[in-house]
Amino acid sequence: MRLFRVASRTLALLGPERRWRWAALVLMALTVAGLEAVGALLIYTLMSLVGGPGSAVALPLVGDLTDVFPGTSQETLLVSVALAVAGFFVIRGVVIVGQAYVQARLVNNAAANLSGHLVRGYLAMPYLLHTQRNSAELVRNSVVSVNALSVQVILPLAKIIAESVVAVALFAVLFWTSPLATLLAALVFAPLIWILLRVIQPLLKKLGRRAQTAKTESLKAVQQALGGVRDIKLLGREAHFARVFLDQRREYAKTAYVRQALMDLPRALIETTLVLTIVAVFVIAVIRDGGTEGLLSTLGVFAYAGLRLQPSLRGVVQALNEMKFGAAVLDDLEEDRGQVDEAIERDRHRSTSEAEPFELRRELRFDHVEFGYDPDARPALQEVDLVIRRGEFIGICGPTGGGKSTLVDLIAGLLEPTAGEIHVDGRELHEHRHAWWRQLGVVSQSVFLVDDTIRNNIALGRPPGKIDEDRLRRTVRRAQLEDVIADLPEGLDTHVGERGIRLSGGQRQRIAIARAFYREPSVLILDEGTSALDAATESALVAAIDELQEGRTLIAVAHRISTVRRADRIFVVEGGRIVTEGQYSELFERSELFRALAQ
């Protein structure tokens, strides 16, 4: 029953797509089992013909071949039977290889589809969830854990089905040829397998959870080490970060070699028990019959069936142990699959409900908005009321940690208020956030670049053949990138390296600004998006933004107060509240905090 529950959970995890293929796998297993049974009978018959006296050439279900083919010599009949047996085993081998191919293809394709589904779902999850979960855990689940699932759960399930059917078929043949010896073998093997499972599986379950934890921690360690390599080198902490990673890899290695030893234990015991059983059959036959006459055929079929049964029994036990080790993987993926399906379904529903435009035609309004990342902690923003009208240039400034970036993320629709409401022209923003995102151009202080060309980073996500070259040129000019591009041998086709490491901070930020301009958005948000630029470049960029702003709404979080000097209104944020607002000259006169920020 436990096995059926695991099978049911695994099928549910893989999704309903093309489940008939799993039924085809069972049908192939039954076919192979039938071939194995016929093969064992043929070996028994061949041994009987070799060891039996007289001139009869008798086959099961057929009878004496000398009666079927009168006038044919015994030698010819025996050679013909041997060749037929050889031909059958060639066909059997082809079918077994075909089964292995289909099984491996089905399992690996299922794992690939699940991995893709998880990544799609992770990307569809609310932004807040990404602030609460470590990316190493998501990478582990979508890549490492899915691979482990295919090896430790899906493939073992397929093996259990295939090998169990084969084992039953071979035991049936053995019981037909020698009931007493088969019962003896069953009495020996059944308790042995039960003991092996009872002893090994609890240990493997604990090892599986330890392995999952070690995978996550090792991925986290290497991501942090490589992501912060510049600071790590300057601090001289390379040895520390390498040691942290090595400790986690050693922990994972320990789970791997202990698991391998536990996996190999059943093979050694089953092989030894099989040989002892065959010896026991021989001894019993000699004592009971007083000789070895007629024993050749029985030992022959036992030897063949034993050779074939040994990997089947070992495979079933090993597959059950693998599944116990993979229980932690199944638990983790099962939990995430539910969240992923919900996120994808919400996206699918919104994609159909957000087909109409969602432009800022009049105003964006905050009504008593509050937001907290942790329900038990003090809110990051509280009692926020503001109105941003279409076409305005809005500045946001305030001390570090005051809530500026959280406010911008709420305006962008990345975060949903924990209290209060945000409306765009009277419609609730969060219910239409995907349509809202199509109107936005956002430049963050932390620049995201992919390891690709400058061209593909500006038109991020657009296939190369669908990039508007005229728009790209205008974007490069407005973002003050023309001189940078001219100095590069490959121009726009220059690769920026991982996270844009081959470019300066200012160049990376200008590419991010160009990306926002390329969308030609109706609402442009600069979240300290000019912080890495020198004063001259920033001044030229502000002029370009003025040119671009006609008919557009601009919201800028100020790194330098001079950036928002020409803003229609400036909101000053402190302690999670908007403490004052007004134009630059007004605020400079009446707000001590603003004067301190402006200096």
Same-domain pairing of 391 and 343: no
pLDDT at 596 over 80: yes
Distance CA 521, CA 286 (A): 92
CATH number at residue 330: 1.20.1560.10
- Across 530-538, average pLDDT: 59
Same-domain pairing of 174 and 210: yes
368: confidence class by pLDDT, cuts 50, 70, 90 = very high
- Across 294-312, average pLDDT: 60
End-to-end Cα spacing for the chain: 73
For the chain, give the percent of residues with pLDDT over 70.
75
Q: CA 449: distance to chain centroid?
A: 22
Distance CA 408, CA 405 (A): 5
Burial class of residue 418, CB neighbours in 10 A (0-12, 13-18, 19+): middle
- Taking residue 19's Cβ as centre, other Cβ atoms within 10 Å add up to 10
- Across 101-107, average pLDDT: 81
pLDDT at 50: 57
- Considering 79-88, 174-183, 518-527, the range whose residues carry the highest mean pLDDT is 518-527
325 vs 400 pLDDT, higher one:
400
Same-domain pairing of 134 and 242: yes
Query: Is residue 406 assigned to a domain?
Result: yes
pLDDT at 474 over 90: no
- Across 580-589, average pLDDT: 88
Q: Mean pLDDT for the chain?
A: 77
Picking from 26, 22, 253, 10, the residue whose alpha carbon sits closest to that of residue 151 is 10
Distance CA 33, CA 162 (A): 8
- Across 500-517, average pLDDT: 82
- Considering 107-116, 296-305, 380-389, the range whose residues carry the highest mean pLDDT is 380-389
Query: Is residue 153 assigned to a domain?
Result: yes
Task: Give the domain-ending residue among 347, 376, 408.
Answer: 347
Same-domain pairing of 317 and 270: yes
pLDDT at 422: 92
- Taking residue 113's Cβ as centre, other Cβ atoms within 10 Å add up to 15
Distance CA 146, CA 140 (A): 8
Same-domain pairing of 136 and 245: yes
E-state strands within 375-418: 381-389, 393-397
35: confidence class by pLDDT, cuts 50, 70, 90 = confident
Residue 542 domain boundaries: 363-598
**Helix 155-177 with 2-14: angle, nearest 10 deg:** 140
Same-domain pairing of 139 and 248: yes
Per-residue pLDDT tens digits for 106-158: 888 888 888 888 888 888 888 888 877 878 788 888 888 888 777 777 777 77
582 vs 161 pLDDT, higher one:
582
Picking from 158, 66, 141, 143, the residue whose alpha carbon sits closest to that of residue 106 is 158
Lowest mean pLDDT among 68-82, 294-308, 403-417, 427-441: 294-308
Lowest mean pLDDT among 96-100, 252-256, 321-325: 321-325
Contact at 8 Å (CB) between 297 and 44?
yes
- Considering 170-174, 462-466, 470-474, the range whose residues carry the highest mean pLDDT is 470-474
For the chain, give the percent of residues with pLDDT over 90.
4
Contact at 8 Å (CB) between 218 and 249?
yes
Query: Is residue 167 assigned to a domain?
Result: yes
Query: Is residue 356 assigned to a domain?
Result: no
26: confidence class by pLDDT, cuts 50, 70, 90 = confident
Q: Is the dihedral of CA 449, 450, 453, 457 positive or negative?
A: negative
CATH number at residue 396: 3.40.50.300
Pairing label, strands 577-582, 419-424: unpaired
Structure tokens at 480: 């003050």
Same-domain pairing of 448 and 473: yes
Distance (Å) of CA 159 to CA 46, 83, 197: 30, 31, 16
Contact at 8 Å (CB) between 85 and 93?
no
